[in-house]
Amino acid sequence: MATVGFIGLGNMGYPMSRNLLRGGHRVVGYDIAALARDRFAATGGEVRSGVAEVVREAEVVCTSLPGPAEVEEVYLGPGGVAETGRPGQLAIELSTIGPTLGRHLAATLAEKGIGFVGAPVSGGVEGAEVATLTIMAGGSADSFALAKPIFELLGKNIFHVDEDPGSGYIVKLLNNFFIGFYTEAVAEALALADLLGFDKDKLFQILNVSYGRSGIYQRNYELFIAKERYEPGFALGLLLKDLTLARAMAEEQGARLPIFERLLDVYRQAVEADYGPRDMAAQYLYVKALQTGRGA
């Protein structure tokens, strides 16, 4: 079994790294947060003191970081994957970033003989825990073949989207484009149900077998709103990050997306009102607060 490096041991990275350990790999990891490092060590991971230390030891390096800024730092910054890596290594980038950055990372690493697969995931923390993630991978056929045994320990639906290292990110941003709309629809419909005095459990029972259903209605309602718990999960701030990336992707194509623009404004206001660290299901709380004039 290979020595796998794992950088970014947060809500997604931690359960994914644990599945690699369960799969029999030796996993060396790093996270800037001490709590994340301790949790990883407690499950059998070997903590290293920085990105360079992880990259030096690993044959395959996985990253699961908040967004483009952190990904750029870890790959292209001093002591990063590009600087410290060696020919024959493989980088599997599992965060949600834009396709342009994915392509740039692939090209930079290729100059050093390091393979790259841009492989964002969907399925949430729940899916990461039980290894049922959907994985949308872009990269050369050779790199994908090398990454596949790792993917099989992390997910269930594994797609080699295209040889373009940006292709997985395109699919992922379109996925989160839907998530943005659905999450707002759930928030507004349930806030309205409350104003109507309608029982939300009964509503879910009926609509979950009607065309009003969606994976996001089920997730946001069953796992968060019904339990009145909003620990992420998938933080609202990360959703806004992904929608902003989707907007940049749309702008490059000259797309006109009128409702999406408005949606972005609504999420920006929710994040400004401090809902960013909560799970995206808390958009429901933000919309409810608007009813009483406390939202924005």
Q: Decide: is 234 part of the binding site for ligand NAD (CB under 6 A).
A: yes
Q: Which of 270, 296, 265, 269 is nearest to 282 (CA)?
A: 270
Residue 91, number of CB atoms within 10 A of its CB:
29
156: CB partners within 8 A, 6+ apart: 131, 132, 133, 134
103: CB partners within 8 A, 6+ apart: 164, 165, 166
- Least gap, CB of 293 to ligand NAD (angstroms): 31
Give the E-state strand segments of the chain in sequence order. 3-7, 26-30, 46-47, 60-63, 90-93, 115-118, 121-122, 133-138, 155-162
C-alpha distances in Å from residue 295, one per residue of 37, 266, 272, 278:
36, 11, 10, 15
Select from 10-18, 147-155, 179-187, 223-231 the region that touches ligand NAD (CB under 6 A): 10-18
Determine the size of the site formed for ligand NAD (CB under 6 A).
29
Nearer to ligand NAD, 207 or 268 (CB): 268
Select from 62-70, 110-118, 205-213, 288-296 the region that touches ligand NAD (CB under 6 A): 62-70
Q: Decide: is 155 part of the binding site for ligand NAD (CB under 6 A).
A: no
- Least gap, CB of 188 to ligand NAD (angstroms): 22
The length of the chain, given as a count of residues: 296
Nearer to ligand NAD, 245 or 290 (CB): 245
Taking CB positions, which residue lies at the least distance from ligand NAD?
10
Q: Decide: is 118 part of the binding site for ligand NAD (CB under 6 A).
A: no
Active site residue 156: no
User: What gap in Å lies between CA 289 and CA 283, rounded to an integer?
Assistant: 10
Choosing from 172, 200, 202, 288, the catalytic residue is: 172
Sites of contact with ligand NAD (CB under 6 A)? 7-13, 30-33, 36, 64-67, 70, 73-74, 95-96, 121-122, 124-125, 233-234, 238, 242
Catalytic residue IDs: 172
